[in-house]
Structure 1
Amino acid sequence: MNKLTILLLFLVISACKQNSKPVKAEEPAQEEMSESKPQYPDALVKVFDAHGGLGQWKKQRTLSFVLPKSKLEETHTIDLWSRMDKVETEQFTMGFDGSKTWLLDTDETYKGDVVFYHNLMFYFYAMPFVLADDGIVYSETEDLEYEGKSYPGVKIAYQSGVGASSKDEYYIHFDPDTHQMTWLGYTVTYRSGETSDNVRWINYKDWQELNGVVLPKSITWHKYEGRKIMEAASTVTFEDVALSTTPKPNGFYAKPEDGNFTP
């Protein structure tokens, strides 16, 4: 290679270096990380506040109560954060370990559906706070009339696949003066796969305060014809209710060695 060729090559390389600019790799846009807060209807927020507030409820960890049934007393215990639970009687015990339901029933005395029943009374008892769970869709509903008084309300439905019965619907109606919950309407669609227009009605009027949270002492089912509520039919009383910010020990909700998981 002669000197002229080397000189020309040097000039080309120098020009390229002078004209080239460093290319900055394009970085992906940084999205702001903001904690999403559930949006509740204003009316429902007032109901929560009338019962002590969601903030106070979310501080609690363990709830327990006794159902003094005539044939077999039941003690229900629930971890409010994980929703693990346990129902104890003298004849059998059932529960949910966070993944599966289980039953300990050596004498095979329990004839019901564990999957359906293990947390059923908890949901009726922990109203209105369970209506703040994830996966809920809120909408308007007409007022409920009873004995000449009008009770405003909110309709609650669930996103598909949420819970064991995502096609269930709830209607919470509250006193317009105090905003305390007064009526709960609900449908039952468990295992049917079909929606239902048969709305059952429960009256909530007997309350107690525990750790700053207002929860029921008893609830009363009423006879009904559609949205026309008639006389009381049956009452369930909750005894020895305890609410605590302390969780139960690890394993409390686990399936016992002699128990069986349920389908």
Structure 2
Amino acid sequence: MTISRSILFLVLASFSFACEQKNTTPDPRLNQPEDFKKLLDAHGDWKKWIDAKAFSFAMVHETNLAWENHYISLQDRKVRIDADTWQIGNDGEKVWISPNRQAFQGNSVRFYHNLYFYFFSIPYIFTDPGVKVNKFENKLLNGISYEAFEVSFEENVGDSSKDKYFMLVDPETGKLAWVLYTVTFFDKSNTKMNALKYEDYRNAGGLVFPRVMTGYQFENDSTKGLNYQVSFSDVFLLEEPLDEDLFKMPEKNAVVAN
């Protein structure tokens, strides 16, 4: 009995030590270049993003007033989007749409399912493993010189590891002002840049997010025609995970989509 209790004590002690070690090990995402940390700090306590389990927000397309509610599991990037005439989800294995593919008018459901989540989460999401953020020479946009960061990805990170981003910093606030980006999902050789403006930041649980994002065509260091504009509300960063059933593909009236 004494020996058994001794073994049990050692097992519990080892388990306790392992848990303590696990809890005290710094998250590698906290290890960012100092210049990038300065940008992150300007947006609030960005460690809250590292610790959060889930994220949700409401979004409106200002060009046609179509609405969407987005729900994201931050640890595994499962996604659910509810719109007026369709639902899109990523259950960790596949991307699906309900009630059918024809309900969504875009070119690719897979491309769309995390598009606005990704843009809306910059700069926090660039702390992800496999993302490389480096200080870059100042970039000119509409006649204004901005401090800039170049963002690239390691091979096989996400669906579009060839994408290129530049974050442009507001000289007055130190916050993200613009993102210049390429889209290689449909054409891996594409180098055409687009411009995305971030404005009217609002606090949500200790972090700030833009209330409005406006996408423009970009040419010769200047914005051209309007591509889209979206607005956001009801932004929540959650410490508890969302129900897994939220992301499951419905048994009826749903199809796997690319």
Q: Is the 2:49–2:237 Cα contact (8 Å) retained in structure 1?
A: no
Structure 2 counterpart of 1:19: none
Secondary structure of the 2:212 match is strand
Which sits farther off after the overlay, 142-151 or 39-48? Answer: 142-151
Give the residue type in structure 1 aligned to 2:28.
Answer: K
Q: Write 1 or 2 for the structure with the bigger share of strand.
A: 2
Secondary structure of the 1:122 match is helix
Task: Report the CA distance between 1:68 and its aligned residue.
Answer: 2.3
- The correspondence for 1:227, drawn from 212, 221, 225, is 221
- For residues 209-255 of structure 1, the C-alpha deviation after alignment (integer angstroms, 9 at most, x for no partner) is 01101111111223431323357664211123223222211211111
- For residues 125-177 of structure 1, the C-alpha deviation after alignment (integer angstroms, 9 at most, x for no partner) is 11111111111123343212345542111111111111011100110111234
Structure 2 counterpart of 1:40: 32
Question: Whole-Å Cα distance in 1 between the matches of residues 136 and 144 of structure 2?
Answer: 16
When residues 155 and 250 of structure 1 are mapped into structure 2, their CA distance, relative to the original with a 3 A threshold, is same
Give the residue type in structure 1 aligned to 2:35.
Answer: A
- The correspondence for 1:54, drawn from 46, 54, 68, is 46
Q: Is the 1:74–1:87 Cα contact (8 Å) retained in structure 2?
A: yes
Structure 2 counterpart of 1:84: 78
Q: Within 5 Å, give how 1:59-74 maps onto structure 2.
A: 59-69=51-61, 70=64, 72-74=66-68
Give the residue type in structure 2 aligned to 1:123.
Answer: Y
Aligned residues: 230
Identify unmatched segments of 5+ residues in structure 2: 1-21
Q: Is the 1:152–1:176 Cα contact (8 Å) retained in structure 2?
A: yes
Question: Whole-Å Cα distance in 2 between the matches of residues 238 and 41 of structure 1?
Answer: 29
Which sits farther off after the overlay, 70-79 or 118-127? Answer: 70-79
- The correspondence for 2:178, drawn from 166, 180, 183, is 183
Identify unmatched segments of 5+ residues in structure 1: 1-32
Q: CA RMSD in A?
A: 2.4
Q: Is the 2:58–2:70 Cα contact (8 Å) retained in structure 1?
A: yes
Which sits farther off after the overlay, 204-213 or 132-141? Answer: 132-141
Q: Is the 1:199–1:226 Cα contact (8 Å) retained in structure 2?
A: no
Structure 1 counterpart of 2:128: 133
Q: Within 5 Å, give how 1:1-263 maps onto structure 2.
A: 37-38=28-29, 39-69=31-61, 70=64, 72-106=66-100, 108-112=102-106, 113-146=108-141, 148-194=143-189, 196-229=190-223, 234-258=228-252, 259-263=254-258
When residues 207 and 71 of structure 1 are mapped into structure 2, their CA distance, relative to the original with a 3 A threshold, is closer
Question: Whole-Å Cα distance in 2 between the matches of residues 144 and 61 of structure 1?
Answer: 35
Secondary structure of the 1:141 match is strand
Task: Report the CA distance between 1:88 and its aligned residue.
Answer: 0.9
Question: Whole-Å Cα distance in 2 between the matches of residues 71 and 211 of structure 1?
Answer: 26
Q: Is the 1:75–1:87 Cα contact (8 Å) retained in structure 2?
A: yes
Tell me which structure has the larger Cα radius of gyration: 1
When residues 189 and 244 of structure 1 are mapped into structure 2, their CA distance, relative to the original with a 3 A threshold, is same
User: TM-score when scaled to structure 1?
Assistant: 0.79
User: TM-score when scaled to structure 2?
Assistant: 0.80
When residues 213 and 40 of structure 1 are mapped into structure 2, their CA distance, relative to the original with a 3 A threshold, is same
Question: Whole-Å Cα distance in 1 between the matches of residues 92 and 35 of structure 2?
Answer: 32
Equivalent pairs: percent with the same residue? Answer: 29
Q: Is the 2:142–2:221 Cα contact (8 Å) retained in structure 1?
A: no
Task: Report the CA distance between 1:71 and its aligned residue.
Answer: 5.9
Question: Whole-Å Cα distance in 1 between the matches of residues 47 and 117 of structure 2?
Answer: 19
Question: Whole-Å Cα distance in 2 between the matches of residues 235 and 72 of structure 1?
Answer: 11
Task: Report the CA distance between 1:35 and its aligned residue.
Answer: 6.2
Task: Report the CA distance between 1:115 and its aligned residue.
Answer: 0.8
Question: Whole-Å Cα distance in 1 between the matches of residues 101 and 164 of structure 2?
Answer: 36
